[in-house]
Amino acid sequence: MGQLTRFDLNPLVESFNLKNYVETGTGLGVSLCHAIQNKSFRHLYSIEIDEKLANSVSLHQNINSAQSNHQSVSIVNSNSLHGLRGLLQNKVDSSPTLFFLDAHFPGADFFDTSYGDSIDNNNTAGLPLLLELAEISNSRDGAKNDLIIIDDLFLFDSGEFAFDREHPESAESVRAVLRQRDMFLAGSFTAVLKLFFGPRRKFRRFYEHQGYMMIFPE
Ligand SMILES: C[S@@+](CC[C@H](N)C(=O)[O-])C[C@H]1O[C@@H](n2cnc3c(N)ncnc32)[C@H](O)[C@@H]1O
């Protein structure tokens, strides 16, 4: 599990004039609270499928103590695709937005569902990244002004991620769950990104933790 704390947001917010923050997969809210520290974000939204996590008292206390008066912060208790669709149609304006995409394996990170069961029991909500990217691109005219950070790149792409070096058996066992179901894209991942965001769009991989991919504004 990586976190947005890997990134110093100030230079990114300044360079790309980012105003909104949208996250899929709130978890305990660590990345959301990191984003709230940057006061240029006026509207922050995080979508969490699990009701207990979305309504957790400590999450809401942490948000309240981090946010300032001019910031609005909302937790949306929903499947990320449904939540994104609603937010992008009704709430998030066209200002440059940071998307942090970190939703996967409901029940596996904070409860005791296995990765395999999580994938088998949740249909597309088990690994929603590709549908999230399609929704963002379609709703925002290719998301040309937006910065998108994908967490846990090792689930989608091959590479020498720190997680592979430090915990090779764990990394392989999660990938095996995807391979057994023909769900690991590996070398095709960037081709899929180009289909969604255009052949000239710039991407950068980060190899710390479980890996990150940054999709830069055009
Ligand atoms: C790795 S944790 C998120 C950690 C958090 N982003 C952070 O950095 O502090 C993944 C979260 O995604 C949630 N999740 C999984 N599938 C989801 C889906 N389809 N829609 C929304 N949330 C989902 C899980 O319940 C879990 O809380």
Phi, psi of 203 (to 5 degrees): -125, 155
Shortest-distance atom of ligand 1 to CA 103: 12
Mean pLDDT over residues 198-207, rounded? 96
pLDDT surpasses 90 at 2: no
3-class state of residue 101 by DSSP:
strand
Q: Which helix (H) or strand (E) holds 206?
A: strand 203-206
Whole-model pTM? 0.98
Contact 44/99 with Cβ under 8 angstroms?
no
DSSP letter at 127?
A: S
pLDDT surpasses 90 at 16: yes
**What confidence category does residue 109 fall into, taking pLDDT thresholds of 50, 70 and 90?**
confident
Q: Which of 7, 109, 208 to mutate to test the pocket of ligand 1 (most atoms within 8 A of CB)?
A: 109
pLDDT surpasses 90 at 187: no
CA–CA gap between residue 205 and residue 187 (Å, rounded): 13
Q: What is the pLDDT of residue 91?
A: 97
Both tokens of 4, joined, read 């947005």
Q: Is 211 in the pocket of ligand 1 (CB under 6 A)?
A: no
- What the chain holds in terms of domains, given with CATH numbers, is 4-215 (3.40.50.150)
Share of the chain above pLDDT 90, in %: 95
Q: What is the mean pLDDT of the chain?
A: 96
Q: Is 131 in the pocket of ligand 1 (CB under 6 A)?
A: no
Q: What is the pLDDT of residue 207?
A: 97
CA–CA gap between residue 26 and residue 174 (Å, rounded): 21
Mean pLDDT over residues 176-193, rounded? 94
Q: Which residues contact 117 (CB under 8 A, 6 or more apart)?
A: 107
Mean pLDDT over residues 193-216, rounded? 97
Q: Is 127 in the pocket of ligand 1 (CB under 6 A)?
A: no
pLDDT in tens, 90-105: 999 999 999 999 999 9
Compute, in angstroms, the gap from residue 203 CA to the centroid of ligand 1: 23
pLDDT in tens, 33-73: 999 999 999 999 999 999 999 999 999 999 999 999 999 99
Q: What is the pLDDT of residue 104?
A: 97
Shortest-distance atom of ligand 1 to CA 79: 20
